[in-house]
Amino acid sequence: MKKGEKKFEKGRKKIGWFWLAKKNFWEGKRVLVTGANGFIGSHLTDTLVNRGAEVSVFIKWDCSTGSRPQVMDNLKESRGKTKSLLKGDIGSEDALKTIKSNNPEIILHLAAEAYVNYSFDHPAEVLKANLGGTLNVLHAAMDLKELKQVVCTSSSEVYGTAQKDSIDEEHPMNPTSPYAASKAAADRYCYAYWKTYGLPIAIIRPFNTYGPRHTYDVIPKFIDLALKNEPLTIYGTGEQSRDFTYVSDMVEAFMVMASRKEAVGKAVNFGNGKDYSINFIAQKIRELSGSKSKIVHVEKRMAEVQRLICNYGLAKKLFGWQPKVSIEEGLSKNIEWAKKQRGM
């Protein structure tokens, strides 16, 4: 081995897993992403494809009518680069067979009914998708001989309102909506299946995530209204606060949870570590977009969580992960993307 090669090899060993994860961990890996046409799922799919993984995507599809989901456009960057397109309802028994036949090495399970307000009027449908869908993934995983890791997506909503300065993984679970309850149930089923059956399951608990392609949460709604100079509607006082993380930071969180064995058997929080009131977000979006929108307040929303703020200490300790994008930078990027979508 030449002198330069020895130096390189020594450096590679010194940084160990980090070098492998960054340079060649994903090359040729058979990866299945459920909910791949969703907001985070589509960004995750793009990243996996770019890092050399053989990516299959499972998307929600009405097989009875053959209707094409509008959000398939989220996958246009990866179109033609993915290995397989799997269609169906994650909560149906057919999904189990579909996942098994795909035979992935790594599963990133994001498929869910994720809109909190929808769960108020459709709690059974949300439970079927979020818990039933997760159980289908887990049971399929039990029969996959070459499976290396499963990442199941939980939610910060499982905690309810923060009872201390920040929410760590030991914080009590107090879900306040049917959506949050369904995610808490799925979260604990994942832990139980790791404990009972020894499945290589890692549980990621993302706090509020925003960025391009997101449609149904407060930030994309405010940006859309601000660019049209229409009123920004806030539920209640607006003093309720959330921990907002930009999508690129959250994608890296998923990547590390899928590539590190230290993640198996653990539930890990990922967030920005700061909370911002909804009033602040409305004012900042109006400022950054140059909007003339008025800010108006309406009646408080049902099952509202008052405060969410992430303690990502465990993620930093285990993986060295920490967020890179500030709230102002993230909002600016999101606004610029939204403007381009509108031809502004």
> Which CATH number do you get for residue 200?
3.40.50.720
Give the pLDDT of residue 62: 61
Amino acid at 102: N
- Torsions phi, psi for 45 (to 5 deg): -60, -45
b or e along 138-165 (b: 16 or more beta carbons within 10 Å of the residue's beta carbon)?
Answer: bbbbeebeebbbbbbbbbbbbbbebeee
Q: Does residue 3 belong to any structural domain of this protein?
A: no
Whether 130 maps to a domain, the answer reads: yes
Query: Do 327 and 274 form a contact (C-beta atoms < 8 A)?
Result: yes
Task: Give the model's pLDDT for residue 71.
Answer: 56
* Position 16 in a domain: no
Pair 295, 282: CB distance under 8 Å: yes
Residue 9 domain-assigned?
A: no
Q: Which domain holds residue 84?
A: 21-210+245-273+309-324
Distance CA 308, CA 331 (A): 19
pLDDT at 84: 94
Show the tokens assigned to 239. Answer: 């003093």
Residues belonging to the chain: 344
Instruction: With respect to residue 297, please indicate whether it lies within any of the assigned structural domains.
Output: no
Q: Identify the pLDDT of residue 18.
A: 46
In a domain, 27, yes or no: yes
> For the chain, which residues score pLDDT lower than 50?
1-22, 65-66
Predicted model pTM: 0.90
- Report yes or no on 86 lying in a domain: yes
Q: What is the total count of domains within the chain?
A: 1
330 in any annotated domain: no
pLDDT at 14: 44
> pLDDT at position 2, please?
47
Please list the active-site residues. 179
- Quick one: pLDDT at residue 205? 98
How far apart CA 238 and CA 56 sit, in angstroms, is: 41
Note the helical H segments in 199-289: 218-227, 247-259, 278-289
